[in-house]
Amino acid sequence: MPTHTLQIPTPDGLADAFAAFPDHGERHPGVLMYPDGLGIRPVIREMARELAGHGYYVLVPNLFYRHGPAPVIELPEHIGAETRPRVFAQVMPLIGAHTAERALIDADAYLGFLTSRPEVSAGPVAVTGYCIGGLLAMRTAAAHSDRVASVAAFHAPVSADGPDLFAKITAAVHLGHAEGDMTPEALGELNQVLQVMDTAGTAYTSEIYPGTIHGFTMSDTDAFSASGLQRHWDRLLPLLDPTLGNN
């Protein structure tokens, strides 16, 4: 499967990115994949290749390109209890500096680049994201309702922007919450807010993944759950396939 390291022009410079797509000599629906705060690394590349294998062109940008190319910080092969404090002491300032304004500037650049690729078919795209990347995915879908047909967010702080965010989204939505992040009561409150999508006729699902903690999709961390990752694929692919016409 072809993979590329690319440079995406943005108003603030060049964002390095990873792309994976099937080697069929055809055009494929585009998916913008936002990584978690730990950025582009082997596990993210593996997930992009897995998704690309289902018939998609998958573009993964370096969220923190303003601070340097990926990897912006040095990461161990496995992020466990001993290394987590050091890693997150470096990551959190990067997340804090990535303001909503910067995120929207970048989203416009990423979508423009994705849809201009010769390997990407015409039509709408999908956006998916993990942790902070899930919030960025939702912001992208809200800001570009004319270009985004479906959006998914996993173990993500999707409530951070309040109900106004959900009111702007017209794409089909799936939210996969970690059991360690979301109590049933909190899920009920979130789903009450999500009912604004019912009024707009927007399809959505929002559920807690049993037995999972924050970061469950990432196999290079102690949070990893094999069943949680599989459930993620079982929800993501049926969301993307019909909305992007990849049946």
Residue scoring higher pLDDT (231 or 167): 231
- In three-state secondary structure terms, 213 is coil
- Residue 148 predicted with pLDDT over 80: yes
91: domain CATH number? 3.40.50.1820
- Spatial distance between the Cα atoms of 67 and 9, rounded to a whole number of angstroms: 15
- In three-state secondary structure terms, 113 is helix
Residue type present at position 118: P
Predicted confidence (pLDDT) per residue in 84-142, tens digit: 999 999 999 999 999 999 999 999 999 999 999 999 999 999 999 999 999 999 999 99
Q: Which domain holds residue 150?
A: 3-243
Predicted confidence (pLDDT) per residue in 151-182, tens digit: 999 999 999 888 889 989 999 999 999 999 99
pLDDT band of 247, cuts 50, 70, 90: low
Q: How many domains does the chain have?
A: 1
Least Cα distance to 194 among 183, 205, 178 occurs for: 205
**Strands (E) located in the chain:** 3-10, 13-20, 30-34, 57-61, 125-130, 148-154, 172-178, 204-209
Predicted confidence (pLDDT) per residue in 186-220, tens digit: 999 998 888 888 777 889 999 999 999 999 999 99
For residue 233, the number of C-alpha atoms closer than 13 Å in the C-beta half-sphere is 15
